[in-house]
């Protein structure tokens, strides 16, 4: 399989890579770590391939679908919280990711100003950036890394029996091991839920990985949910489609549908790691499925 795609923009500066929004009093900046092309067979592994291909065509999507790599930086209560960290150099075959260190710098965010990291789960495209020396060597000694106790245990010896999308399992295994070794003293495991800062709560969902978690930001009656990998491209329009990266596919579907239902009812801002940058939008009910309504950019 091929995750490499030449970029149209070799200097990576001609495309937007950060977007700042507010949720009440809380500042949320979306930063793009880049994008990875994922072959379409990684999506909808439980549906008929002809149906899957027809759906892709109807959405004008190619056979290799670009997955955005979105990270957020939240500022609340004097804390600066990085939610996920992109791939770093853990996916060497992917030439369009691993930009987080450069893009934090471009956004004026010093790695040493980050007080907390939330890892939605321990896949390499969410923790790899923390292994990048350009970030790691500048992190403060009292950094706190919040991750589900379940994932911290699971990734000591991960089970890939339901994770059908081959080719990345060795990287997932080695990256999570390096992460666990490198950040032992910074890890702050949580079980169900933990408030990292005022209005910033990480909540365990399971599904994509056993310890997968989402982040909720709320202030002054406004709310944003960062759904991590509870859904990936086409996950809103086709919520029953399982993807080949889910460790617990059926549970992942229940989690996805639950989050979408909640987002549609509340009208809150909703984003997920792998939607197209800046991945900010809302979810609307559309018959038996859902429809994504991108948020209007605020200039």
Backbone angles phi, psi at 115, to 5 degrees: -90, -30
CB of 69 to Zn ion, least distance (A): 8
CB of 36 to Zn ion, least distance (A): 9
Number of C-beta neighbours around residue 238 at 10 A: 19
Which stretches of 12-103 are assigned E, i.e. beta strand? 18-23, 26-39, 64-76, 79-83
- Give me the sheet containing 187-190, strands edge to edge: 18-23, 26-39, 64-76, 79-83, 116-118, 144-148, 187-190
37 vs 112 by CB, closer to Zn ion: 37
147 vs 197 by CB, closer to Zn ion: 147
Site for Zn ion, residues 190 to 209, rule: CB under 5 A: none
Cα gap 214→87, rounded to integer Å:
19
What's the full length of the chain, in residues? 299
**188, β-bridge pairs:** 146
90 vs 116 by CB, closer to Zn ion: 90
119 in Cβ contact with 84 (< 8 Å): yes
- Of 133-141, 177-185, 224-232, 261-269, which segment contacts Zn ion by CB under 5 A? 224-232
76 vs 120 by CB, closer to Zn ion: 120
CB of 14 to Zn ion, least distance (A): 25
CB of 267 to Zn ion, least distance (A): 26
Site for Zn ion, residues 51 to 110, rule: CB under 5 A: none
CB of 143 to Zn ion, least distance (A): 22
76 vs 277 by CB, closer to Zn ion: 277
229 vs 268 by CB, closer to Zn ion: 229
CB of 273 to Zn ion, least distance (A): 5
- Give me the sheet containing 193-197, strands edge to edge: 193-197, 200-204, 213-219, 222-226, 269-271, 281-286, 289-294
Cα gap 43→204, rounded to integer Å:
24
| Residue 229 found at the interface with Zn ion (CB under 5 A) | yes
Site for Zn ion, residues 107 to 126, rule: CB under 5 A: 125
Cα gap 55→102, rounded to integer Å:
36
- Of 72-80, 221-229, 258-266, 290-298, which segment contacts Zn ion by CB under 5 A? 221-229
CB of 25 to Zn ion, least distance (A): 29
| Residue 33 found at the interface with Zn ion (CB under 5 A) | no
Strands 187-190 and 144-148: parallel
125 vs 132 by CB, closer to Zn ion: 125
- Of 172-180, 191-199, 222-230, 258-266, which segment contacts Zn ion by CB under 5 A? 222-230
> Residue numbers of the site for Zn ion (CB under 5 A)?
125, 229
């Amino acid at each position: 399989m091929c995750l490499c795609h030449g970029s149209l923009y070799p200097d990576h500066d001609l495309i937007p890579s950060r977007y700042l929004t507010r949720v009440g009093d809380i500042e949320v900046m979306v930063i793009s770590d880049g994008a990875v092309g994922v072959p379409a067979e990684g999506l909808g592994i439980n549906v008929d391939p002809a149906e899957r291909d027809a759906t892709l065509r109807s959405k004008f999507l190619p056979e290799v679908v670009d997955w955005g790599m979105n990270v957020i930086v939240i500022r609340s209560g004097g804390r600066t919280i990085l939610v996920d960290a992109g791939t770093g150099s853990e996916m060497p075959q992917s030439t369009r990711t691993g930009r987080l260190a450069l893009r934090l710098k471009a956004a004026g965010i010093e790695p040493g100003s980050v007080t907390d990291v939330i890892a939605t789960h321990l896949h390499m495209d969410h923790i790899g950036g923390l292994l990048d020396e350009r970030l790691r060597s500048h992190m403060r000694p009292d950094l706190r890394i919040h991750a589900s106790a379940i994932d911290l245990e699971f990734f000591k010896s991960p089970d890939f029996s339901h994770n059908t999308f081959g080719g990345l399992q060795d990287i997932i295994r080695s990256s999570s091991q390096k992460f666990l070794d490198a950040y032992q003293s910074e890890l702050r495991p949580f079980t169900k839920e933990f408030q990292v800062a005022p209005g910033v709560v990480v909540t365990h969902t399971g599904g994509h990985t056993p310890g997968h978690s989402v982040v909720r930001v709320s202030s002054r009656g406004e709310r944003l949910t960062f759904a991590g990998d509870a859904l990936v491209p086409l996950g809103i329009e086709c919520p029953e489609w399982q993807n080949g990266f889910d460790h617990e596919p059926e549970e992942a579907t229940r989690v996805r549908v639950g989050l979408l239902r909640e987002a549609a009812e509340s009208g809150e801002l909703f984003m997920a790691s792998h939607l197209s940058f800046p991945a900010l939008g809302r979810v609307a009910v559309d018959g038996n499925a859902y429809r994504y309504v991108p948020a209007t950019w605020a200039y």
